[in-house]
Structure formats: C-alpha cells, structure tokens
Structure 1
C-alpha cells in the first residue's frame, strides 16, 4: 500500500501543474450552498485565502527552498529545517490547503468543500509520502530525526516564538518568487467573484488591469535586476 501511495505521489508531483488547475474548475460548477449568509462565507473565505498566502510568504521570506524539483521529479540539494520548516515540515502545502479551503468556502460550494478539497488533501498526502521516501533515501538518519520531531502539516506553535530569532524576513525574495502566484490568486478570486455576482464586470476589469500592470512591472524589474531582487 505504501509503495502504491509513493508511486502515485511521484506521478502527481510530475503532473501537478496540469492537474491542480483542472480541479479549480469545480468552483464554477453549481452546488448546494454551505451557508445562506453570503457575507459570512465571503469573510471566512477571504480570511483563509489571505492566511494561506501569509504562510506561503513567511515560508519563502524566512527560509526558501527551491520548488518544482528537478526535471519535474522530486529533488533536494540540502535538507532545510530552519525558519518555518522548524515548526512544520510542509508549510507551503499547508498554505496551499488553507487557500483551497478558503476558495471552497468563498464559493459557498458543498461540492468543492466536501469532495474536491478532501481530494486535494489526499493528493498532498501522497506527494508528502513520496518526498519523505526520497529524503529518507538521500539524507538517512538526519531526515528521520527531523521527521520524528516536526509534524508534516500541523504547526508546533510552542516553537513559534523562535521563528524570527536571528532571521531577517526577505520581502524582496518573496515578491520575486511569488509575484506570479499572487497574480493567479487575484485572477482566480476575481473570476470567481464575477461568476458569483459579488463584483461587477467593471470592477473585475479594473482589478485585472491593475494587477496585470503590477505583474508586468515586477517581471521587468526581475529581468533587469535579477540578482538584487533575489537576495
């Protein structure tokens, strides 16, 4: 069973950039509502989306790990245990799951929240198992000790006070690495809001024009001064 999960996790890791956007489509499929109070789901959904983005940003700003693997396969040059990785082994996945939960609640969708979101949890669990297998083979006892002391997803808040100790938050690195994701979050949320009639077409258009302009500006700055913005 474990070998099957690891094999599935490796396969998902390879094709995740194609599969994950497909599941986003389920937000636009009509579904039973979670709550009748639209203001409530809007508030909770936005809160979770922002919380997930903050977790991702903290992760990158405090201790960046090169993402995407090598040739779309799981890979790691070194074992990173500092920053937010000292209180949670997979903070990026945690942030992603919180964002996805936020989108499901924001859409007020029973279908996404109780069927698609659990599917995401299973997918990330399989990827984590595949990554654990790779890291155990590469780093041996060093990773096993780390694995036994830090939970894969649930943060150890007792260690939170040490998160910023002797560390500088690198906001430029966050912007440099995450600007594409930020744009996609805004695009996805704006499209969903338009579909749900929570914003007008005019507001949607203005939001996309502004966010696209900022996106292109950062992209140009990144291209012209890559080293300075990646420090």
Structure 2
C-alpha cells in the first residue's frame, strides 16, 4: 500500500456542507423577508429544539475532530469505529447537518423544514458515491460489517 493511499482529510464534504449552509442561510433570510411564505409554529418549542440540535452538532463535531483525532487516523489509514464513530459513521457531516437544521428550526417556518430532508438525501448520496465507496474498497468486510451496525448520520434508537 502506498503511503498516500488514504482518504483525503478534506474530501467533498466541505463543499457540500458549504453549499448546504448557503442554501439554508438564503432560505432563512428569504423567510424573514417574507419572500418565502411563513408558516410559524410555537416559537418556544422551535427555539429549544433548535438550540438542542445546535448543541448536538457541536458535541458530535468536537467528539469526532478533537477527541477521536480523525485527521490522524485518516493519515494512518485506520478505520475508526469507536467513540462517536460507534454511534454514527459520519459524525462530522452529522454535526453540521444537526447545527444547520437547528438554525432552520429556529427560523420558525414549517415550510423550511423540507430543507433538512433534502440535505440528508444529498449527503447520503454523496457519501455512498465517494467516501463509503472508498472505505469499502479499502477495508472491505470490516467496513461493511461496521456499516450494518452503525447509521450514517442519525444514531440508532434501538
């Protein structure tokens, strides 16, 4: 195996997350300007739920990047399945997805709630075609068995 034969530390993720963030910010701004129709809900509930999602995002990100030191594991070609990676396969993407969803929820407009569903679908397709394809090629059955036990972005409840 060649020394540089590892998943890039920065793959397509930052581009996807950046695009998702821009679309979400634009949608929130258009909602605030009443260009997108506003279908409000209970503002206290959306504020609390939004804050919880943002906090979950921060916890997932810090657990993946700071605690698990994923960048070192990528450089060393190590499949990480412990810590936050025992809960979700892509905690960094999940972190941004949760935080962005938190801000969308806090915008208090039911129509915007379609965005997290679209974001989840985009990230799922992107992961299947890029990182997960590489991980299957690199780690084979180890990754396939891991992926059967652990969801991509949303922890299993049962």
Bin for the TM-score computed over the shorter chain: 0.7 to 0.9
**Which ranges in structure 1 are unaligned for 5 or more consecutive residues?**
1-10, 70-74, 159-231
Which region of structure 1 is more displaced relative to structure 2, 12-21 or 81-90? 12-21
Q: 1:104 to 1:46 in 2, by over 3 A?
A: same
**Alpha-carbon displacement from aligned partner over 1:29-78 (angstroms, at most 9, x marks no partner):** 1232331x3333222212221222122222223312129x9xxxxx9832
Task: State whether residues 54 and 100 of structure 2, in contact with CA within 8 Å, keep that contact through their aligned partners in structure 1.
Answer: yes
Please name the residue that 2:48 is paired with: 43
Secondary structure of 1:66's partner?
helix
Q: Quote how far apart the aligned CAs of 1:22 are.
A: 2.2
**Aligned counterparts of 2:154 and 2:14: Cα–Cα separation in 1:** 25
Q: 1:53 to 1:14 in 2, by over 3 A?
A: closer
Map residues 71-90 of structure 1 onto 2, 5 A cutoff.
77-90=77-90
Please name the residue that 1:152 is paired with: 152
Q: Quote how far apart the aligned CAs of 1:85 are.
A: 0.7
**Aligned counterparts of 1:92 and 1:28: Cα–Cα separation in 2:** 25
Q: Quote how far apart the aligned CAs of 1:13 are.
A: 4.2
**Aligned counterparts of 2:17 and 2:50: Cα–Cα separation in 1:** 23
Task: State whether residues 45 and 101 of structure 1, in contact with CA within 8 Å, keep that contact through their aligned partners in structure 2.
Answer: yes
Secondary structure of 1:137's partner?
helix
Please name the residue that 1:33 is paired with: 39
* Structure with bigger RCO (C-alpha 8 Å, 6+ apart): 2
Q: 1:12 to 1:27 in 2, by over 3 A?
A: farther
Q: Quote how far apart the aligned CAs of 1:26 are.
A: 1.0
RMSD: 2.8
Secondary structure of 1:77's partner?
coil
Please name the residue that 2:116 is paired with: 117
Which region of structure 1 is more displaced relative to structure 2, 53-62 or 98-107? 53-62
Between Structure 1 and Structure 2, whose CA radius of gyration is higher?
1
Q: Quote how far apart the aligned CAs of 1:87 are.
A: 2.4
Secondary structure of 2:81's partner?
coil
Please name the residue that 1:186 is paired with: none
TM-score when normalising by structure 1: 0.52
Secondary structure of 2:71's partner?
coil
The answer to which structure has the higher helix fraction is 1
